[in-house]
Structure formats: structure tokens, C-alpha cells
Amino acid sequence: MADVQIARALPLAGMVHGGAEVTVSAAPAAYRISLRAGGPAVAALSKALGVTLPKKPGTSASAGSRHALWLGPDEWFVFDETADPAADCAKSKAAHSAVDISHRNTAILVSGPAAADVINAGCPRELSLEAFPVGACSRTVMGKIEIVLYRTGAEDFRVECWRSFSDYAFAFLADAARGL
């Protein structure tokens, strides 16, 4: 089932908007889950997933290809480009909810010296390295849509948005990049 899901066409497959200051491109396919779990289950799920679920607001944890992003006090967004985290969660007996959202979301990678400026064209968050360091993540807004923003490097961001909004998100970012 999971293999069938990940074989589905990506909405932005192959799209790239390049420039000297910033590159906006579609991210490769990934498994994604929306994970909800209460206090006692977190340790068991961290073990099952192989990555320690962060408890500090706005932070993330990574292990290999797997990334766990804190979204709320009992909510994490986990994505992995090689293995299905939902299957690993299913091995745990701890009470939790892991919903496969691999194809609800799609991701856009924004990289380059002006990456933060391009995202700030529609996102009101402060994206200086002090306020939003590498590894920081957050659900927030960009233009007219909700996104999950994840800083993967000093000049690299991953913008997760809903599949049906991905055309808008990509066009928004590409347009902002054009205005530099």
C-alpha cells in the first residue's frame, strides 16, 4: 500500500526556478506522517521511530533520512524520503495517532543567500539565524496559505504545503524570487 502511495505523481515534479540569489525547486517524494501522542507514549514512539521526538517548541530532530518536527505540545510532523515512519509507529504499542499524509503535503526547497527574503515575501516570521536557527521549524502562514517551514541550513528552507496549494506556493515563491 505504501509503495503504491509513494509512486503517485508529485504535483510539482521537476519544477525549478533558478536564480543567482535563490533557487526554488520541488522536493523529492517523501513519506510523511502527522503524529499525535501524549506524554507517556513519546519515549516509546521515539524508540520505534529511531529519532527522539523533540519536546522543545519550534525545534526538530533528525536521524539519517528521518526528520521529526515539533508542531504542537502533542503533535509532530515526521518525514522520511526512504522509509515509512507510519510502519515504524505501528510497531509501537503506545497510544498514538499516526496519519499518513505523504500525499496531502508536498514540499518546496528554497535555497540560496536570499532564501529567507523570498519566504519573507509572504511569511511574517522573523527568519534571522538568531530567531529561526538551523533545525527550527514551525507551522505558519505564507501568502494566503498555511505552511510548515523547516530550516535545513543557514540558507536552505523546506516549505511544506498542502498538495492542492502547491501551485500557488510555488508561483508565489518563484514570483518573489523574480523580484530580487
Partner 1 sequence: MLLIHCPYCEEERPELEFRHAGEAHIARPADIASISDEDFAQYFFYRDNPKGLTFERWRHIHGCARFFNAVRDTVSDKFVTTYKTGEPKPDLAEAANENKPQAKKGRGSK
Residues forming contacts to partner 1 in the complex (CB under 8 A) are: 57-58, 71-73, 75, 124-125, 138-141, 146
Smallest distance, partner 1 to C-beta of residue 138, A? 7
Smallest distance, partner 1 to C-beta of residue 75, A? 7
Residue closer to partner 1 (CB basis): 76 or 170: 76
> For residues 115 and 143, what is the distance between their CA atoms, to the nearest angstrom?
16
- Residue 79: what are its φ and ψ, rounded to 5°? -135, 155
Smallest distance, partner 1 to C-beta of residue 131, A? 8
Residue closer to partner 1 (CB basis): 134 or 141: 141
| Backbone torsion region of residue 46, taken as left when φ is above 0, otherwise alpha when ψ lies between -120 and 50, otherwise beta | alpha
Residue closer to partner 1 (CB basis): 26 or 172: 172
Smallest distance, partner 1 to C-beta of residue 72, A? 4
Residue closer to partner 1 (CB basis): 74 or 81: 74
Which residues have a Cβ under 8 Å from the Cβ of 96 and sit 6 or more positions away? 35, 36, 37, 41, 45, 89
> What is the grid cell recorded at 171?
508561483
> What is the grid cell recorded at 49?
521511530
Smallest distance, partner 1 to C-beta of residue 21, A? 24
Residue closer to partner 1 (CB basis): 98 or 123: 123
> For residues 138 and 59, what is the distance between their CA atoms, to the nearest angstrom?
8
